[in-house]
Amino acid sequence: MAFTIAIDGPAAAGKGTISKAVAGHFGFAHLDTGLLYRAVGAKTLDGTDAIAAAQALTARDLEAENLRTPEVAQAASRVAVIGEVRAALVDFQRAFARRAGGAVLDGRDIGTVICPNAEAKLFVTASAEVRAERRYRELVGKGVSTSFETVLADVKERDARDRDRAEAPMVAAKDAVVIDTSALGIEEAVSTAIAAIETARSR
């Protein structure tokens, strides 16, 4: 039986961590839809046309090792505003969402555009400062030389681009449960998400 959980929210809010934990808890398949855009963005950094890259994307492209770099993240945000790119990736996401056994998809527009009829919807957010601090620590831990101010500026720039784009802007679905992780630890955030999903499953 298909059961779709849509988890949206801005970068570094914790939706990826929550999505993986939720998928593990319920035994559902998980798709980080941001990887689709990162994979396309990574190809554009090599000079490939964004639309052509999206149309030719394969599951193997999601395994590339460079998809988590700041440069690819910014490239992903840039290609995500292109309508033709989004259209090319919609079918892949919707097919995954309705697979037997349940699915968790996290991204920016899952509950509003990709799966508006998802059985459970969450919008995971946090303040820009908190998210920038998380991303800064992550980058420093990987040996990346940067500053908190630079990361914060990148977070705000990406937020604005994701929120203000004409195609599928990032916004909480009207029926989504909003979870602000600014002051939540991982365990508390995950338990809050699971409780919201359990409520949806019991309807």
Question: b or e along 141-171 (b: 16 or more beta carbons within 10 Å of the residue's beta carbon)?
Answer: eeeeeeeeeebbebbeebbebbeebeebebb
pLDDT of residue 166: 81
Q: Is the pLDDT of residue 10 over 80?
A: yes
pLDDT of residue 194: 98
| Domain coverage including residue 125 | 4-201
Q: What is d(CA 30, CA 191) in angstroms, rounded to the nearest whole number?
A: 18
CATH number, position 173:
3.40.50.300
Asked whether residue 17 is marked as a ligand-binding residue, the answer is: yes
Total number of domains constituting the chain: 1
Could you report the per-residue pLDDT of 81-105, keeping only the tens digit for each? 899 998 999 988 998 999 999 999 9
Asked whether residue 195 is marked as a ligand-binding residue, the answer is: no
Asked whether residue 14 is marked as a ligand-binding residue, the answer is: yes
Asked whether residue 185 is marked as a ligand-binding residue, the answer is: no
Asked whether residue 34 is marked as a ligand-binding residue, the answer is: no
pLDDT of residue 68: 87
Asked whether residue 70 is marked as a ligand-binding residue, the answer is: no
Q: Which of 82, 85, 78 is nearest to 157 (CA)?
A: 78
Contact 145, 29 (CB under 8 A): no
pLDDT of residue 50: 97
Asked whether residue 12 is marked as a ligand-binding residue, the answer is: yes
pLDDT of residue 92: 86
Asked whether residue 173 is marked as a ligand-binding residue, the answer is: no
Q: What is d(CA 38, CA 126) in angstroms, rounded to the nearest whole number?
A: 22
Asked whether residue 169 is marked as a ligand-binding residue, the answer is: no
Joined together, the tokens standing for residue 24 give 């593990």
The pTM of the full predicted model, rounded to 2 decimals, is: 0.86
Q: Is the pLDDT of residue 40 over 90?
A: yes
